[in-house]
Chains A and B, each alone.
Chain A
Amino acid sequence: MANQESDKFVTITVDGITARVPPGTLVIEAARQIGVMIPHFCYHPKLAPDANCRMCLVEIEKIPKLQTSCSTPVAEGMVVKSSVPNVEEARKSVLEFILANHPLDCPVCDQGGRCDLQDFSHEYTPTTGRFKELKRIFPKEYFSPLIETQMNRCIQCLRCVRYCDQVMDVQALAPSGRGTMTEIKHFSIHELDCEFCGGCVQICPVGAITSRLSMYDFRPWMLKRADTICTYCGDGCQITIQTKDNELIEVNSTHGAGRNNGDLCPRGYFGYHASVHADRLNHPLIRQQDGTYAEVTWEDALELIAERFSQIKLAHGADAFGGLITSRCTNEELYLFQKFMRVVLGTNRIDSSARYGHINGIQALRRVQGTHRWTVTYEDIVAADTLLLVGTNITETNPITGLKVKEAVKKQGAALITIESLLPIRGTISNITTLASHHVPVHPDYFGLAVLGLIKSVLEQGLATASLSERAPTFVQSIRSAVGKVPWETVERHLGLGRDTFVEAARTFSQAKRVIILAGQGVLRAPQGSDVVTNLLDLLILTGHHGRPGCGLGTLAEENNDQGAVEMGAVAEYLPGPSELGDQTARKNLSKIWGDEIPQSPGATLMDMLEEARTGRLKAMFIVGENPVATLPPQAKVEESLDGLEFLVCQELFLTETAKRAHVVLPACSYAEKDGTFTNTEGCVQSVRRAMEPIGESRPDWEVFSALSLLMGNPIEYGEAKEIFKEIRSAISGYGLLGPSATPPRIKDEVVDRYLQEGFKTDVEVRYAFEQENTQPDEMLTLASVQSLFHSGKFSTRAKGLLQIQASGFLNVNPVDATRLGLADGDPVRLSNTRGEATTKVKLLDRVPVGVAFFPEHFDQNIRGLFSLETDPQTRVPYFKLTRVRVDRMQEEIPGKG
């Protein structure tokens, strides 16, 4: 025992305190654990030690000279002294050298008050320096609209450069020059062009790199902090919103906090102004006869809604109602919304924006393994030895999950297989495919085919696990015969890649111990999304990884609470849990808790509701935060549907395209103004906390549902959001605890067995069939509406910071295509196909695949009309992200876009 322990731990004494730490721990970390803070600038736990600032020098017995504690690993019996005269003297000298050039403009520096250099100077130096010489002065250059550099303050610790490289894999910052004139720059005198993750701002120990967005607006001690969760993607990053007198000042994230460990993306770091946009609705609005809106009191608005809802219910029955809610709402609100719809209005016609794709993944997971959440966590991603990314530009859609993948690849040496349309070309916006050990470049239409190719290769090479052939021989056999029907020639014709491409990838995948598959929007929001996810699970089962610890499949959510929306039952087919709508035990349990019956009628999905509204079956809709008019392409005829309604209530932050058709518009609170919880894509439930008072008369959504239920004579009342959460936990058995880490569910073996014996049979032929013959004429490009790194949905297009990085949509095309079509950077182009035409501008981007053009979905107002609309026959997910267009250069300039 003693032996074993000494193998695992070494004894170290710091300033007379002895502790046992794992070998390999750095002295500075060991000291921190003991409680001795060794001053440092260049060291950061996230970064590899650089030992360039020399601030962390300590005396180690038996080593004649002082050592940098940030780069010295502990050794058995090491005795470290950090507060002996020797060390103090060294610190003084180091600081004196740093201060020889530091301008000491602390009063006007935004870092003043939370600056390491300030703190250490106060602690370790006399107040006067001996340097009389002139300080080093850099000519100031414009750096970027959002990040400000003041290089005179720089202490050249290179934390920013190393963060940019090691953590973000962006390499947009570089130290230029040498010696004392080393300066952090982008590329020569060019303006910074990078991911704008804000990491350099956060990690700078002094004020050399600061946020220009909040420059000079505050002093650190004035700020009130609230830890909450970012709402711009499914990653669920913890952010600290800092306010001064109810005014949003800045957002940051503490190292070690939340699932993101203090790392953020541009949306999280610079996107916070969307909540305080001047267009926020301040009062409830009622549409007048002439179509204008009148500001009214909450009482008037709610009474009108209650009255009209009651009338419609009386006249047309409960199923004349439809409800649609955005998954940007908190769990509490989603839960209460479905409860309101089910209990007060008495209908199951509810849907949420999880319908746009996330439901595809959930249905596949439920079908194959009986879980609705990931069976893995972010920690598992980091620990994985092989990662398979399918159809996800992860660094742009889910940047923080992307960071975990980067960490696994860069620090842990994991193998990465990417099936993605991007080309592996490096730039100052990171590109996950450049890290891939096996990259399968695929046209966005054919992710499914590429997965099929991988499975085919696994089976052909005999890499399927042997035990499976005993457990479920028919399963293996039918997949083998199904994939056999798609010859390699077909694969090669469509992907341009043959058998050889997959051989190595299949081998790496099969032989790995810890395998994680991540499926992104390219899969989930494209036709057959659910099938491809099921196939990926088949792949895990075939290679024997399914159910092994640290192995599993994750689907990446686009909206912050897509996962929560499904779990709260705010979708047509599920009750909270999620349990099937027809699940009798769940119904009984819920009706006991709710004290009311759950309606028997079937649910209706978004597309069905719109259809019913058009035919006049649906009379009234309650839309919360969702904007189908601006999301779905015109051929969905959303406007027609909504205009046909007798009564439409919208609860919104802004007067959106959808809200403009409503009879009553209610002002809701943004995430910064309310309490609750979000469930991130990996299934971690995290607290959202109010950072500021509600703007105007806006109220949190749940309060509105509660008030409406009261007026409609069926009160569902709660004192605060926490009470709803309590009810959720009683309604859903085994609902995860709130906590810093996710507690992933285990796969249900009986479900897997059922699937392997019988379940797969229903559609195995269909799932592995390939009949798509989308030929693309030469003059056409595939237009894909994709998510940009700098925006999320339409909400972020109201954030002034993000607009400074990206203010409008550009058609990103490969230079090869551009040359072929005679286009140059910035050219105005006309996009056209049978559905219509639109104009935009071209921006060349190396990483866009040839034959494909990307357009950010956040600015798709004009081009939306070009997309086809297809509804999944099973999951009823509307697909409208891909189309084919002709691209022509326009002779004349686009007016007003110059």
Chain B
Amino acid sequence: MLLEKHQELITELLSRYPVKRSALLPLLNLAQREEGYVSEAAMKEIAKILDLTPPQVYETATFYTMLNLKPIGKFHIQICKSIMCGLVGSDDLIQWLQNRLGIRVGQTTGDRLFTLSAVECLGSCGTAPMMQINDDYYEQLTAEKVGRVLEDLRREGTSPLKSGPFMFPQPAGSR
């Protein structure tokens, strides 16, 4: 399924590395972009493409916390819980978000719109507290601002308050 849909991209990805297996992370990333999470079927397919066994793919997928192994909501809220954001009140923000969305960290809302996770430093300490929703950064957050972001996302699917995307390197094929 992955192979059929992204034949060219996968060939390109494989050509980047001398060893096939090295393309594992890009492929897992691709699978995640495709479905929002890395499904078992995708892992099996990647194993086949890379001449690995499914457990080997699973091993890598479970190691990286940024790969989701369970379906997530439309908007994946990753809020920084590292020390810089912590110092300026990310704990309160997480609490506020939990109350607002009615879920705990790691859960998805019933309407499958939001998934909340607390993550380690996202490298934007100067503008703490911050969070990343899908590919976009939202910085210098306050409860009020987060509330607006959530409203925007619910309504429009995007929010003008974002300051991203800053993905580096650019996701393959996006240019």
A residues bordering B, Cβ < 8 Å?
A: 170-178, 185-188, 425-428, 434
Contacts and interface: CB of A to CB of B under 8 A. Distances in A.
A188 B52 CA distance: 15
Nearest to A171: B53
Given A177-B63, A178-B63, A185 B51 contact: no
B63 A428 contact: no
28 contacts: A171-B55, A171-B56, A172-B53, A172-B55, A174-B55, A174-B56, A174-B58, A174-B59, A176-B58, A176-B59, A176-B62, A177-B63, A178-B62, A178-B63, A178-B65, A185-B55, A187-B40, A187-B53, A187-B58, A188-B43, A188-B58, A425-B48, A426-B52, A426-B53, A427-B53, A428-B54, A428-B55, A434-B51
A187 B63 contact: no
A170 B63 CA distance: 21
The 6 closest A-B pairs by CB, nearest first: A174-B59, A174-B55, A176-B62, A171-B53, A187-B54, A187-B55
Contacts of A185: 55, 58
Given A173-B55, A188-B58, 18 more contacts: A170-B53, A171-B52, A171-B53, A171-B56, A174-B58, A175-B59, A176-B58, A176-B59, A177-B62, A178-B65, A185-B55, A185-B58, A187-B43, A187-B53, A187-B55, A425-B48, A426-B47, A434-B51
A154 to B, nearest CB: 15
A428 B48 CA distance: 12
A149 to B, nearest CB: 13
B87 to A, nearest CB: 25
Contacts of B48: 425
A891 B118 CA distance: 53
Interface size class of chain B, counting residues whose CB lies under 8 Å from the partner chain: 10 to 19
Contacts of A173: 55
B76 to A, nearest CB: 20
A425 B49 CA distance: 10
Nearest to A161: B59
Contacts of B47: 426
A187 B54 CA distance: 6
Nearest to A177: B62
Q: Which of B47, B52, B58, B59: most chain A CB closer than 10 A?
A: B59
Interface string B24-51: 0000000000000000100100011001
Contacts of B55: 171-174, 185-187, 428
A186 B57 CA distance: 11
A895 B23 CA distance: 48
The secondary structure that dominates the B interface is helix
A569 to B, nearest CB: 47
A186 B44 CA distance: 13
Contacts of B69: 188
A173 B56 CA distance: 8
Interface in B74-108: none
Q: Which of A176, A187, A188, A428: most chain B CB closer than 10 A?
A: A187
Nearest to B69: A188
A297 to B, nearest CB: 56
B17 to A, nearest CB: 18
A426 B63 contact: no
Nearest to B63: A178
Q: Which of B52, B53, B54: most chain A CB closer than 10 A?
A: B53
A304 B63 CA distance: 72
B43 to A, nearest CB: 8
A427 to B, nearest CB: 7
Nearest to B47: A426
A478 B65 CA distance: 67
Nearest to B65: A178
Contacts of A186: 55
A192 to B, nearest CB: 9
Nearest to B54: A187
B47 to A, nearest CB: 8
Contacts of B40: 187-188
Contacts of B65: 178
A281 B48 CA distance: 48
Nearest to B59: A174
Contacts of A174: 55-56, 58-59
B31 to A, nearest CB: 14
Contacts of B52: 171, 426
A425 B47 CA distance: 11
A892 B2 CA distance: 35
B126 to A, nearest CB: 29
A172 B53 CA distance: 7
Contacts of A427: 53
Nearest to B58: A187
B50 to A, nearest CB: 9
A186 B40 CA distance: 13
Nearest to A181: B62
A656 B37 CA distance: 55
Interface string B115-130: 0000000000000000
Contacts of A170: 53
A178 B60 CA distance: 10
A185 B57 CA distance: 12
A175 B59 CA distance: 6
Interface string B143-159: 00000000000000000
A178 B61 CA distance: 11
Contacts of B54: 187, 428
A541 to B, nearest CB: 36
A177 B62 CA distance: 5
A128 to B, nearest CB: 34
Contacts of B58: 174, 176, 185, 187-188
Contacts of B56: 171, 174
Contacts of B63: 176-178
A188 B47 CA distance: 14
Contacts of B62: 176-178
A883 B62 CA distance: 46
A425 B53 CA distance: 10
Nearest to B53: A171
Contacts of B43: 187-188
Contacts of B51: 426, 434
Contacts of A171: 52-53, 55-56
Nearest to A187: B54
A188 B54 CA distance: 9
Nearest to A165: B56
A425 B48 CA distance: 8
A172 B52 CA distance: 10
Contacts of A176: 58-59, 62-63
A375 to B, nearest CB: 35
B46 to A, nearest CB: 12
A869 to B, nearest CB: 39
A173 B51 CA distance: 16
B172 to A, nearest CB: 25
A561 B40 CA distance: 45
A178 B55 CA distance: 15
A724 to B, nearest CB: 48
Contacts of A178: 62-63, 65
Contacts of A188: 40, 43, 58, 69
B64 to A, nearest CB: 9
B56 to A, nearest CB: 5
A411 to B, nearest CB: 18
Nearest to B61: A176
B51 to A, nearest CB: 5
Nearest to A175: B59
A426 B49 CA distance: 10
